[in-house]
A = this chain, B = another copy of it.
Amino acid sequence: MLTSIYLIAITAEAMSGALAAGRRNMDLFGVAVIAFVTALGGGSVRDVLLGNFPVTWTQNPHYIYLTVSGGLLAVALARFMHRLRDLFLVLDALGLVAFTIIGCNVAMQLGYDVPIVIISGITTGIVGGILRDVLCNRTPLVFRQELYATVSLLVAMCYLYLLNYQVSADTALLASFSLGLLSRMSAIRWGLCLPLFRYSPARWD
C-alpha cells in the first residue's frame, strides 16, 4: 500500500513543481527539472545526509519517467487545475505523509537514533518543496503554509511512537495517515497555522 501511495505522491509533488515553474515562465525542460527535483529532491538530500548510497532513484529509472511525465501532465492540465484544487490538496497531503513515513523507515533501517529518524522523515517530506521554491526564487512556502512541515513532524512522531509500542506496522501506517490527512485538511479548512515570528528591526544585520 505504501508503495502505491508513494507513486501517487511523487506524481502529485512533480505536478506541484511544474506549476511553480509555470509561474516563473520556465520552458518545458525547466518544468521537467523542477518536477523531478520537487518529487525526488527530498529523498536525495536524505540519502546523501545519511550516507545511504546509491541514492534511491539512481537504482530505479521509472521514478524519473514518472516525475517528468507528472510535470508535463500538469502543463496539459494547467487550465483545469482550479477545478482539481481539492483533489490536488488531498494528493499533496497523502504525499507528505507517505514521504515522511518512508524517510523514517530508511533511517531506521540504517540504524540511526530516534531524533535522526524523525529528521529523516521531515527531510523527505518537505525538502523537495523547499528546493522547488529556492529554484523558483521564492521564500519556501512550507514554512508559512497551514501546518505543512508541522504535519510531517506530527506524523513522524506518531509513527515512531506506535512502532515503539509494538503496534503492527499496518496499524501504525493507518493511524499515521489518518492523523496526517486529518490535521492537514483541518488546517486548510480552518486556516490553522503555527504562530508566526515577525521580526523587522529598524536597523540590524
Contact = CB atoms under 8 A, between A and B. Distances in A.
Quick one: which of A28, A115, A197 has the most chain B CB within 10 A?
Answer: A197
Interface of A: 16, 18-31, 33-34, 44, 48-51, 53-55, 58, 61, 64-65, 75, 78, 81-82, 85, 112-116, 119, 130, 134-144, 149-150, 153, 193-202, 204-205
Given A51-B54, A130-B135, A134-B137, 5 more contacts: A27-B144, A27-B194, A30-B144, A78-B197, A81-B201
Instruction: Please give me the 5 A-B residue pairs with the lowest Cβ-Cβ distance, nearest first.
Output: A30-B143, A22-B199, A51-B53, A27-B194, A61-B115
How many of these chains are in the complex?
3
B50 A54 contact: yes
A28 B153 CA distance: 13
B194 A29 contact: yes
B149 A29 contact: yes
B199 A144 contact: no
B33 A44 contact: no
B50 A49 contact: no
Contacts of A135: 130, 134, 139-140
A83 B50 CA distance: 40
A25 B116 contact: no
